[in-house]
Amino acid sequence: MITDIRYVAVMVEKLEEGVKAWQDLFGLEPINQPSVNQWGIRAQMLGHEGRSVVEVMEPASPDAALARFMEERKNPRNPRGEGIYMLSIEVDDLEATLREMGAKGGRITREEGNERTAWVHPLSLHQVFVEVTQRGGRTTATPD
């Protein structure tokens, strides 16, 4: 089933501040340039020796799903709603893994044209969003 943890996605209010914190505290380096995906997430991948470790992301607009999720998480101890958003894992057999998770009640989302990646809805895993990728597959940004 799981063969590797690919990276962890962390949501922040301000991308540049989040990136700087991970660089300063852990010495991580940018793997790509910040970019905005089709789901309204502005993100930058950070890593070590070319291996992805943390994707730092911010909502690109106030109406993006990520902005709504962060708003729901706000509380006196976390006034900006920041924190871990998603765990990206790699599996040896994506289709078998998805069938098994679905049979056990997992809510799975697929993106048309992307046969190597799927997502498990946070309501299935105690508010943790999980990206599941076939070993050797490409990693894409997260859908709503």
| DSSP result, the chain | -EEEEEEEEEE-SSHHHHHHHHHHHH--EESS--EE-TTSEEEEEEEETTEEEEEEEEESSTTSHHHHHHHHH-BTTBTT--EEEEEEEEES-HHHHHHHHHHTT--EEE-TT-TTEEEE-GGGTTT-EEEEEETT----PPP-
Find the CATH number of the domain harbouring 35: 3.10.180.10
The yes-or-no verdict on residue 144 having pLDDT over 50 is: no
- Let me know if residue 25 belongs to a domain: yes
- Let me know if residue 68 belongs to a domain: yes
- Let me know if residue 112 belongs to a domain: yes
- Let me know if residue 28 belongs to a domain: yes
The yes-or-no verdict on residue 141 having pLDDT over 70 is: no
Determine the structural domain holding residue 33 and report its residue range. 2-134
The mean pLDDT of 58-76, rounded to a whole number, is 95
- Let me know if residue 140 belongs to a domain: no
- Let me know if residue 141 belongs to a domain: no
- Let me know if residue 97 belongs to a domain: yes
The mean pLDDT of 44-72, rounded to a whole number, is 96
Task: Indicate whether this model's pTM tops 0.75.
Answer: yes
Each residue's pLDDT tens digit, 3-32: 999 999 999 999 999 999 999 999 999 999
Give the total number of structural domains in the chain: 1
